[in-house]
Chains A and B, each alone.
Chain A
């Protein structure tokens, strides 16, 4: 076959492939718009405890032999925890279960109007300690490892700092902001001179999910449309569409926040930057990060726009732990925990670190 003939054949194959994909886009596009929301969080679990906004799940173990120390994951207060268990094969929970961990997850419901007065004290001195006690009772183990994501990491750190003699065995902070003066656009928009957080909290009581979602989406205003353009082109690719829809659902199900909690985080963490300065007091206890002495792992993303690198960097310098490590990985705020980078890079590193500290 001559070079010209081979080139023609190659072109023919390409054209055929393009036509096939165009047909598939039409057929699957119809399925896409007519089907219901993506099915997420499918790993079998039981709800061990629930009270108002708080939910504690226990996942069914998937290994015959477990590590001694159970793992409790703490979700950020603005989003649902199914991002930890997005899809089969794309689930951090499933990954840890298969590698022998006993996994519990703290998830949040939308706070009800009567929960508008929830504060950092409720999350760190009541909800997390209660869940840790439930995990201890369920497993018969006194030690518990905690993994906190974003604001869940902040809450876990405050818990750890105010319960230095507590049962915490290991602490993992995923994309957890410490220096709130380095939070990029969030810092600019929270400018104390212009942001009247008292009026927001007093008028709304519960800050609506739309308000929170807009704050997130405005930071990357082209992301949603670009995502829709990408998925329209990739409509033939079932795996891509499945993953896109799961992430889309997660973003759409952003949670409202208790007004009092927003007031306190804005004044204490954003304006006062007290987690960074060590002046934070929660429930009458000092939440100075120097009080944290358990082994600690901080995993941060290079291109995180919500918890930028500069905001996460000071953690290891501030904690009192001797056994401490930071892992900086490629990716963004969400892809770090549930995207392709998570599967290939983050989860194996997390598992390795936890495994040797969970016996």
Chain B
């Protein structure tokens, strides 16, 4: 319904922003949704990764010359530590044994697990089930 008063500049601003956003997104999606854009984007990424790889290899050679570990060496060490942790975890789990087999218990702690859904939930659920899909 049209307002009788003078226009609200804030509301106009909000509408303008929304329209601008919708139009820009729509236009950008048209451009970016093409095969040529996808090819260009991936080509740029390929070049960036090639540069990164070359830099990393050069740095690795320098570190090796200085008798220092590379990032890869540190990661390998961390992987070995991770494997030790996982083995410990498996040992811990096997020591727990049957503790992982759970049988329903009435409840733990102070809060009973006896809550029932409100009656109207049950009736609407039954109504839905009766409807053909």
Q: Which of A's residues lie within 8 Å of B, judged by CB?
A: 7, 10-11, 14, 18, 21, 51-52, 61, 63-68, 100, 102, 112-116, 133, 136-143, 184-185, 188-189, 191, 193-196, 199-200, 203-205, 218-223, 226, 229-230, 233, 325, 352, 355-356, 358-359
Contacts and interface: CB of A to CB of B under 8 A. Distances in A.
Given A140-B107, A188-B33, A14 B8 contact: yes
A352 B38 contact: no
Contacts of B99: 137
A7 B5 contact: yes
21 contacts: A65-B115, A66-B113, A66-B114, A67-B117, A68-B114, A68-B115, A113-B74, A115-B82, A139-B108, A140-B104, A141-B113, A188-B38, A189-B32, A196-B46, A199-B49, A221-B24, A222-B24, A233-B10, A356-B117, A358-B117, A359-B117
Interface residues of B, number: 61
Contacts of A188: 32-35, 37-38
A139 B117 CA distance: 20
A221 B28 contact: yes
B95 interface: no
Given A196-B46, A199-B46, A185 B29 contact: yes
Contacts of A138: 108
B6 interface: yes
B82 A52 contact: yes
Contact of A194 (B5, B39, B104): B39
A233 B111 contact: no
Contacts of B74: 113
A189 B41 contact: yes
B25 A352 contact: no
Contact of B78 (A114, A218, A325): A114
Contacts of A233: 10, 13-14, 17
B91 interface: no
Contacts of B100: 133, 136-137
A142 B102 contact: yes
Contacts of A223: 21, 25
Contacts of A221: 24-25, 28
Interface in B2-49: 5-6, 8-10, 13-14, 17-18, 20-21, 24-25, 28-29, 32-35, 37-39, 41-43, 45-46, 49
A7 B5 CA distance: 7
Given A14-B6, A185-B29, A68 B49 contact: no
A141 B106 CA distance: 9
